[in-house]
């Protein structure tokens, strides 16, 4: 694994988390139990803290960064799709951020909400609980029932992380 301290900023990774060997974790980053960080993901906590809750999946190619005065927080039970970009934002528990999406400074994504693939959540935007946010910039549809979809996906990634921790072997 590419895990780096940056001065006195040292990542804290729960022993039950899975961080793929090709992911990069730098500085002030905390990763909770049973969370999964997949190949090519970069979590760079150099300008503020990054917190990843428990049972959260940060998928392949995703970039998680901060800006001064705006840490990045991803709650528990979340799914962050492939090649997403999170920077200085809050993703509440049990939310899903789709592949290719961007969530920017001071934005908040509420519980049980979905940010659709390739959507852009601009600075200071609030996606309320139980909403669907689609488009560039996002348009928000409230009152959605996303619970089963998010719960099933998060549970699947926890199990897949266990499988990888137990059976992943480099061949070359």
Give 59-80 pLDDT, tens digit per residue. Answer: 999 999 999 889 999 999 999 9
Give percent above pLDDT 70 in the chain: 99
Q: How many CA atoms lie within 13 A of 125 on its CB side?
A: 21
Identify whether the C-beta of residue 121 lies closer than 8 Å to the C-beta of residue 101: yes
Q: What CATH code is assigned to 2-167?
A: 2.160.10.10
Q: What is the mean pLDDT of residues 33-43?
A: 98
Q: Tell me, what's the pLDDT at 38?
A: 98
* pLDDT surpassing 70 at residue 1: no
Query: For residue 9, with 0-12 CB atoms within 10 Å meaning exposed, 13-18 middle and 19 or more buried, which class applies?
Result: middle
Structure tokens at 70: 């705006």
Q: Which of 54, 67, 154 is nearest to 107 (CA)?
A: 67
Instruction: Please state the pTM of the whole predicted model.
Output: 0.96
């Amino acid at each position: 694994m590419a895990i780096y301290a940056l001065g006195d900023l040292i990542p804290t990774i729960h022993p039950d988390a899975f961080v793929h060997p090709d992911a990069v974790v730098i500085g002030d980053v905390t990763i909770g139990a049973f969370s999964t960080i997949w190949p090519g993901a970069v979590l760079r906590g150099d300008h503020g803290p990054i917190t990843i809750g428990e049972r959260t999946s940060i998928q392949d190619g995703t970039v998680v960064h901060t800006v001064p005065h705006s840490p990045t927080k991803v709650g528990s039970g979340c799914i962050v799709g492939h090649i997403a970009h999170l920077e200085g934002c809050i993703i509440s528990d049990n939310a899903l951020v789709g592949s290719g999406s961007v969530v920017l400074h001071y934005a908040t994504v509420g519980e049980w909400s979905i940010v659709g693939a390739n959507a852009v959540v601009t600075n200071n935007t609030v996606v309320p609980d139980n909403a669907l946010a689609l488009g560039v910039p996002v348009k928000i549809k409230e009152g959605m029932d996303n619970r089963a979809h998010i719960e099933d996906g998060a549970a699947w990634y926890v199990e897949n992380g266990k499988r990888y921790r137990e059976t992943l072997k480099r061949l070359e």
